[in-house]
Structure formats: structure tokens, C-alpha cells
Structure 1
Amino acid sequence: MAVAPSIPGLEDIARHGDPKRRNDAARKIAGLFLAGAGRFRPRHVDLFDGILTGLVPHTEAAARAELAERLSALGNAPPMLVDLLVRDDEISIAGPLLRRSPVVTEPTLIEIARMRGQSHLLALSERPALSFGVTDVIVRRGDREVVRRVAGNAGARFSPSGYSSLIRRACDDGVLTLAVGQREDLSAPQLKELLAGSADIVRRRLFEVARPDRKAAIGETMAEISGAPKPAAIRRDFAPAQRAILAMHQAGTLNEAALLDFARLHQYEHSVAALSALSGVQIVTIDRVMMRDRADSVLILGRASGLKWATVRALMMLRLGPGRAVSATDIEEARLNFERLAASTAQRVVNFWQTRQSA
């Protein structure tokens, strides 16, 4: 497969042609490559690479930007050409490749992060996946907008020093605190350090916007930081309820409907014992979850146990006690959070609770 003969005098055009002839030649050959990229073998790609690398630098910026945009989605884009375009000073040319091209190598990304300006760093921060090596440079050199963007990128990974830098910069940036605080890979000590350096209003906002499975950890960390005294634990005797639940289990009458009845009747000990038997979660863990200030833990426990929303709602009312109510808005928000919560995620949180309780 030879493309050079399709354009007479190609070598002369590349060396001595005027801009218009070079533009025309580059456009035609790039069109040939883009039209057949899906079926080309490496040797064909190399042939196009050599030809286009000689032509494209002499074309107009608009033509290079259009080509970069189309090449950015290809896994077999000509590597030398991509390396040439991704280093361009014009962000309209380099940007598409920085954001998503799988052909750009890790050393090239790090070099560009070290050498280029904020517009290039911003494009870099939007890549679907970023390694520690790249994010370390971005966090060190990026301005506020860049750092916020990379912190909100779920595909970015941060080294311990990178996280330390993010947390330091978040001390005076509430938006960055919200982005960092919602990351799944943020450890408990890092979350505590982040919240300790944040204003109380930012902490509350983070709790409001966090996913249900993160709210429990954020709430506990907030309480630990505030140093607020915990209410005295209510001593409960679960033994009679356990005996009653065991009898129901042996009789085959223990099910979610029975749990729902206990919760609606505000029979706390029977509800906890029944939920323990149905879910396999220890009574001490369920009791501790039910007594927390926030209802999100009940949503997590209900989803992990495979309960229906009606039962979870009754358990939310149970923890408040008779005569107390929740606004319709809060109930609807809780229902939506419950529906969004994945069972696998909820189960991981419950497993964590049980492990910590055992420890």
C-alpha cells in the first residue's frame, strides 16, 4: 500500500512547496489515513507518520487543530505526528491530544506538565486516567482552576505527597475541599486532615453533597474534630427480644414483614434483633448504627441487608422515637439516596463497621 505516488511531486511539495500546496497535500494524505485507520497495520501507520510529520508542521494552525481533534480518538494514530502536535504552543492543537489521546506517552505527559502553561495543564487534568507522576507536577504547578479540576477527576491518582499538597491548598479553597473530600481513594487520616483545616460551613456542605456511603465517615470525622461530647449510651437488654426472634425463626415466621411490624410499633429491641437475624450483622453493630445522629447509616444498613424502602423508612422513624417526624423533603431525599446506593458499596461499608466493632 503506497500513498506517496497518489500526489505527484510530494517530496518537492514537502520541501519547497508554498503553504497552500502543503496544506492541500497534508489534508489529502490525512484524509486517506483517517478513512482507513481502522484497518491499517503498523507498517502502514509508519508510512503515513513519516509523510505527515514532514508536511503538517508547515500547515495552517486551523488545519493542525482539526487534525489533532480527529487523531485524539485513535488508538493507532501516527506516534511521531501525535508527539509533534501535542507539544504545540497552541492549546487548540495540543489540547485534544492532551485530554484524551491514548498514544501520548507518560514521559511526554510529564515533560509537558513541567514545561507548558496553565491552559496545557488544564487540558491534561481532564484525561480519563492520570498517574502519580503526572498529578504530582500538576498539583505543584497548577493554578486554582487546574488543581480543582484534577482533584475532581475520578481517574486521577495521587501520591502521598500529592495528597498532602492538595490538602494544604484546600485550607483556603472551599471548592477544592469539596472535590478532595468526595474522592473514593481518600484515606481516613487524609479526610481528617482535610476537614481539620476547613471552615465549619465547608465541612457541612461537604457532608450535604457527599454520596451516602461517604457521609458516615465524614460525619464521624466531623464529630471527632469538633470534640463534641457523645450522648450517654442507653443500656438496652436485647436478650428477651433475641429469644422471641429465635422462636419466630424456628417457626418460620421471621421475615421482612415481621421486621416492618416491629419498626412501626416502635419495638426497638425486637427490630434490632430481627434485623440482625435477617442480615447476619451483629446486634451491637446495628444498635450503634441506629443511634447515630445521621440517618444515612440506616440507608446503608438497609441496602446491604436487601430491605425494601418501606422497611428502611420505618427504621428511620424508629430511631427517632414515637411522636417525632421527618419532613417530606428529607424523606424524599433519603429515598433518592437509598435508590442510588449500590448494594455492593453498602456491603463494603457494613463490613468495615463490623471489622472496626470487632477490633
Structure 2
Amino acid sequence: MTIATSLIPGLDEIVRHGDPSRRAEAASRIAELFLEAAANLRPDHIELFDGVLIDLVPHTGIEARTDLAERLSLLGNAPRGLVGQLARENEILIAGPLLRRSPVIDEDALIEIARIKGQGHLLAMSERPKLSPDLTDVIVRRGDREVVRRAAGNSGAEFSSTGYSVLIKRAGQDAVLTLAVGQRDDLPKQHLKELLEGSIDVIRRRLFELVKPDRQAAISRAISEISGAPEVVESRRDFAPAQRTVLALRSAGELSEAALLGFAKDHRYEESVAALSAMSGVKITTLDRLIAGDRHDPILIVGKTIGLEWVTVRALILLRLGPHRVPAPADIETARVNFARLMPSTAERVVNFWQTRQPA
């Protein structure tokens, strides 16, 4: 206590017998001293500060404790006792910053707080960079809808088999939670199937559109296992004339990327899909259903598989949107980056799956 005592004469007396206002003033001065020197303090010095502040900080006001908690939440060497004390406060403005990100709160303390505190504390915890399976077991059991959605969407969270079972049960009444759980890279195959079994068709379709290309195959496979047969969707478009046009080009040896690009630029949807079908081996009905969705991923996948250039893929995206819609530049740039990053082997696996599941 030498450092603090030298700056605040009579500190021992203030701690033991001082009135609340004097203790609050001493707490503010000592906390500021700690924060200014934290980077250079030894563990034994931090322990001394911890012992003093634990007794004094409760005498400060909510605003002072809130500010202190916010600043302590960013320190890797914050006083553990004080952090634990503040994190257990009922006032979420104080506890929240520490529960969200403080690296000094240990696992046992987090689980204890998760078991006894309210939804605000659980919500703050669900945003931590890392969540262990033991902690998420408590969160998904006690948390309300917002808490559970936040935890399920946290890529740093890990879930036990029991935790996933609880999530899937709750997702049966929550479409947003279904989409969050279904997009998790660590969701086991069996749990994915259970999730889809409890979902309506429109949610299944939306999930398929949201996930990464290599996950789409797993979803399609699970849906096929559930239904016992591949889904067949009838198209409202008449592709027969377009098929004849494409077959004629093929017979003449003129079916090429240049021809496909021409169709796309002219907004000839049926000819473009028919040409993609002939070049990829994926049936027209399958391509039409995939391309008519809300995302560009099927175009990126089939384009990567048959070796299209970005200029052609971009034209197909614009074709898909229609002649009177202008995409946001950011959306086009995102699609370009995703197309560049998409591995041909990944795209081929997805296309092969489409081919094996399409109707004869």
C-alpha cells in the first residue's frame, strides 16, 4: 500500500473509519493512480491496489463505477478481485463492459454469474470473444430469445451436444435462431438434420441461400434424407425455344462463353440458363430454381466450375436482377471477391451434388 499511502495521507484511517464521501474520493484517486500506472505495475503492486479498491469502490456512485468498469474491461492486468466485484453488480451499466470483454474474469466466475444474474448479464456475456461449452450450456438454458440468438450467432462460442439440442429445440419456434444455428461452421451433421426437420420449407430455403457454398451441399443432402427424395420445382418459364437455340449453337460449335455473355447482356434469361445448363451439365429446372433465389452464390458456383471470366459472371448477376434494377457497387464488389476466393474444387463438389440430386 506504499504507493497509495504516499499520495493519500491517512488512507488506512479512511478505509477503516472514513465517511462514505471520503471513501469515494479516496477510491477515485487511487483508481486513477492505478489506471495511469497499470502498464508498469508488478503483480504484487496490483494485488495491493486490489485489496484497497475492493473496500473503497462500493462507496462511489454508479457513474464513477460505470466509468471504472469500462476502463478496467480493456486491461489484461486489471485487479481480479475488483473486476469480479464489479461484474457481479446488479447494475448492467457497471457489470456489462466487464462481462463482454474483460480477460481477467475466470471461467468459474462467469458460470456463477450466468447462473444467478438476469438477462442483461447473460446478453453481455453472450458477446464475449470466446464462450466455452460449459458457459453456453447455462446461457442457452437460462437466456431469453435475444440472448440465445446472440450466443448462437457468436462465432467464438462453442456448444456441447446438449447445448445444441437445446438450441435446436428452441429454434423450432424461432426462425431467426434457426438461421443463426444453421450457419454455424461447427454444427454437426446430425444436429443440422435435426434443425432442418423442425423447420418449415421457406426457412430451409432461406438458410440454403445464406450459407457458404460448401455448406449448401450438406443442407441439400440433409433435406433429401428428410424427404426421401430430391425436391422438384416446376418453372413458370418456357425454356423450349431457348433450348433449341442453344442446341443449334452447340451443333455448330459456337456454344461458348462469348455466346453466353451475349445472351446475358441482352437480358435473354431463358437462353442464358439454357446455355449454362448445356455447359455445366446441371438441368435447366435446377439452375432456374437456384438462380431465382435471393443470392448470387449459385451463379458464382456454376461460373467457377465451367471456368467463366468475372465479366461474364457479372453480366449473369445483372441479368438475374433484371433490366430495371441497379445493384449496389458494394454488393457487386462482394460478389467479385467471393468469386475470386471460391475454390474450383469446392464449386465442383456443389455442382456434382446438384447433378446427382436433380430429377431425371
1:201 partnered with 2:202: yes
Counterpart code for 2:72 = L
Q: Is the 8 A contact 1:304 1:346 kept in 2?
A: no
1:294 partnered with 2:295: no
Structure 2 counterpart of 1:136: 137
One of 342, 349, 352 as aligned partner of 2:346:
349
Counterpart code for 2:137 = D
Counterpart code for 1:180 = V
State which drifts further: 345-354 or 40-49: 345-354
CA distance in 1, matches of 2:345, 2:110: 35
Structure 2 counterpart of 1:151: 152
Tell me the alpha carbon deviations over residues 144-200 of structure 1, each in whole angstroms, 9 at most, x when there is no partner: 221112112222111122111101101011221122222232244333321221223
1:261 partnered with 2:261: no
CA distance in 2, matches of 1:316, 1:347: 19
1:312 partnered with 2:313: yes
Over aligned residues, Cα RMSD in angstroms?
3.9
Q: 1:94 to 1:314 in 2, by over 3 A?
A: closer
Structure 2 counterpart of 1:255: none
Q: Is the 8 A contact 2:282 2:351 kept in 1?
A: no
CA distance in 1, matches of 2:207, 2:165: 19
Q: State the shift of 1:7 in Å.
A: 0.2
Counterpart code for 2:301 = I
CA distance in 2, matches of 1:101, 1:345: 37
TM-score, scaled relative to structure 2: 0.74
Q: Is the 8 A contact 1:68 1:85 kept in 2?
A: yes
Q: 1:197 to 1:213 in 2, by over 3 A?
A: same
Structure 1 counterpart of 2:15: 14
Q: State the shift of 1:143 in Å.
A: 1.5
Q: Is the 8 A contact 1:300 1:341 kept in 2?
A: no
CA distance in 1, matches of 2:317, 2:220: 17
Q: 1:56 to 1:270 in 2, by over 3 A?
A: closer
In the alignment, structure 1 segments of 5+ residues that lack a partner are: 232-240, 245-257, 276-285, 318-323
Identity %: 50
Question: Is the partner of 1:127 in helix, strand or coil?
Answer: coil
CA distance in 2, matches of 1:355, 1:201: 24
CA distance in 1, matches of 2:89, 2:120: 12
Q: Is the 8 A contact 1:23 1:59 kept in 2?
A: yes
Tell me the alpha carbon deviations over residues 12-71 of structure 1, each in whole angstroms, 9 at most, x when there is no partner: 111111111011101001111112222323233222222212211333333222211110
State which drifts further: 36-45 or 75-84: 36-45
Q: Is the 8 A contact 1:136 1:158 kept in 2?
A: yes
1:103 partnered with 2:104: yes
Q: Is the 8 A contact 1:125 1:153 kept in 2?
A: yes
Q: 1:216 to 1:62 in 2, by over 3 A?
A: same
Question: 1:34-183 counterparts in 2 under 5 A?
Answer: 34-183=35-184
One of 324, 327, 331 as aligned partner of 2:322:
327
Q: 1:73 to 1:58 in 2, by over 3 A?
A: same
Q: 1:356 to 1:189 in 2, by over 3 A?
A: farther
Q: Is the 8 A contact 2:171 2:177 kept in 1?
A: yes
Q: 1:351 to 1:135 in 2, by over 3 A?
A: farther
In the alignment, structure 2 segments of 5+ residues that lack a partner are: 234-249, 263-270, 292-296
Q: Is the 8 A contact 1:216 1:297 kept in 2?
A: no
Number of residue pairs matched? 320
Counterpart code for 1:72 = S
CA distance in 2, matches of 1:119, 1:145: 10
Q: State the shift of 1:308 in Å.
A: 3.5
Counterpart code for 1:287 = G
Q: State the shift of 1:8 in Å.
A: 0.6
Q: 1:47 to 1:165 in 2, by over 3 A?
A: same
CA distance in 1, matches of 2:50, 2:305: 54
Structure 2 counterpart of 1:238: none
Q: State the shift of 1:315 in Å.
A: 6.8
CA distance in 2, matches of 1:348, 1:130: 33
Q: Is the 8 A contact 2:149 2:176 kept in 1?
A: yes
Tell me the alpha carbon deviations over residues 301-355 of structure 1, each in whole angstroms, 9 at most, x when there is no partner: 54588854322256779xxxxxx97624789488465235264455573375489
Q: State the shift of 1:213 in Å.
A: 5.8
Q: 1:32 to 1:325 in 2, by over 3 A?
A: closer
TM-score, scaled relative to structure 1: 0.74
Q: State the shift of 1:89 in Å.
A: 2.3
Counterpart code for 1:261 = A
CA distance in 2, matches of 1:345, 1:39: 47
Q: 1:351 to 1:26 in 2, by over 3 A?
A: farther
